[in-house]
Structure 1
Amino acid sequence: MTHPVNETPVNPLPPVVAALALVMAGFELAFNLGARGLLGGPNAVGWRNTLVERFGFSGRAFDWMLENGSFPPEHLIRFVTYPFFHASFSHALFAVVILLAMGKVVGEVIGSLRVCLLFVLCSIAGALAFGLLGSDPGCWGPIRQSTA
């Protein structure tokens, strides 16, 4: 059996998939280092809660927007930011692994721009159906697309 000399040890990822995964992992790394007191000082302990409160999807905020017919940007941004914040390290780990695995497969077929669009649209759709999908709908889009 011969092995090509220039073969990479890891299959190449579409850049947008790598970027999305790095953002997710980066937030989780900062949250963990902050919680352990290794980053950000004493205030870092509450980073996760603060950012989830500010950027996580909120059913109450969504209901308020519908009831009042007002859609302020600070609430609308939650539709696309909440997939990057997770409840725990293991939650983030599984989201990143699923995104990397399925994003690679789908990215090879539909391209980086469409993967990004798919992630955003699935995140928005997931926010609208939050009770049914949980908090990782951006990762489920590539899974669905790979089975089509």
Structure 2
Amino acid sequence: MTSEAEGLTGHVLDLDAIYHLLDARSNYGREIVRQSVLRNTTLLLPAVAAQCVAGFRPHQAEALFSVPVVTIGGLSAAEVTNAARFGPKMAANLEQYTPGLAMKSEIVTILAAAHAMLLAEARGGWRIITSVPHLYDDISDVRLEILP
């Protein structure tokens, strides 16, 4: 695998960032995609997030997945177990910021964010692009780029 120091670089998008981009909520989000294409910088989507988007918004997902720099990061059984270490803290963070929220509805957000953490770690600390930074509160060694 090529390291960031050898020229491969990118960002990991969590589920909320993907929806942020699809909904065109900000010029900043569009600019991230534009600059990534211009600079041939990878935009890595966690498999959980990509599957969720494909299921709920198939036409938009198809368009996003066809962008040349967009790649879907796989998720092995071992990685699922490894990602589980982030789940309890992320669930607590969501509960703190959105008390009483039905956790069932947010489990995919947590799973996708935990997978984003694994993908970023495996690539030497790539930034995770997110619109919900509180999800990552008190999690060490995470680098975030926050969408407005």
Short-chain TM bin: under 0.3
Q: Counting helix residues as a fraction of each chain, which structure ranks higher?
A: 1
When normalised by structure 1's length, the TM-score is 0.26
- Considering only CA atoms, is the larger Rg found in Structure 1 or Structure 2? 1
When normalised by structure 2's length, the TM-score is 0.26
Higher RCO by CA contacts (8 Å cutoff, separation 6 or greater): 2
